[in-house]
Amino acid sequence: MLTIRIIADNEGDISWDMSSTSDDELEMIKQKKLAELQKMATTKTMMSFLAGPVVLTDSNFANEIAKYPIILVDFWAPWCGPCRMVSPIIEQLAREYSGRVAFGKVNVDDNQITATSFGIQSIPTIIIFKGCRAVDVMVGARSRAEIETKLKQHLASNRDSIYE
């Protein structure tokens, strides 16, 4: 849509201004897209610096989950044998998927509020979060192949994102 604005000053001089609403809209869309791309680049850079799983606690859980578009969280305890079997798998996947997926670990003995809020009754429990929402849960010791299959399913559902 083309807008013409006619302006008359006190001395009788007339001026006019033509502007296109579509140009303004395009500029606004361009600025919004640029901001989104900058945020995605910042997130991807931040995720690429993660050398291993983030230690999640009752006090930092919500903030840490909000930082990452996708994060796999391992709920565990030091005395749990199956947890100790899964831990090296999580560590290895964290290195291999650095820059695409964040990984976190919650010690359920030390962080009972968080564990209770997700109804953790058996460990290990692995929850995949996307956009701060739990989207998948795996209870019990799982093989690398099972964990990676679930992870790849969630990465594949983000074709238009930083995960490609």
Position 148 in a domain: yes
Position 61 in a domain: yes
Quick check: is 83 catalytic?
A: yes
pLDDT of residue 162: 32
CB distance 139 to 125 below 8 Å: yes
For residue 144, the domain's CATH number is 3.40.30.10
pLDDT of residue 39: 65
Position 96 in a domain: yes
Alpha-carbon distance of 36 to 161, in angstroms, equals 10
Position 164 in a domain: no
pLDDT of residue 23: 76
pLDDT of residue 164: 36
The single-letter DSSP state of residue 164 is -
pLDDT along the chain (164 residues), means of 10: 66 65 75 70 57 92 94 97 96 93 96 96 96 95 96 77 34
Position 24 in a domain: no
Position 99 in a domain: yes
3-state secondary structure of 123: coil
Out of 70, 80, 115, 120, the active site residue is 80
Nearest in space to 108 (alpha carbons), one of 56, 63, 65: 56
pLDDT of residue 161: 36
Report the amino acid identity of residue 52.
G
What domain range includes position 149? 45-156
pLDDT of residue 20: 58
Out of 54, 83, 127, 128, the active site residue is 83
Alpha-carbon distance of 56 to 116, in angstroms, equals 14
3-state secondary structure of 57: coil
Quick check: is 80 catalytic?
A: yes
Query: Per-residue b/e over 63-76, b at no fewer than 16 CB within 10 Å?
Result: ebbeebbbbbbbbb
Position 94 in a domain: yes
Total number of domains in the chain:
1
pLDDT of residue 1: 56
Position 19 in a domain: no
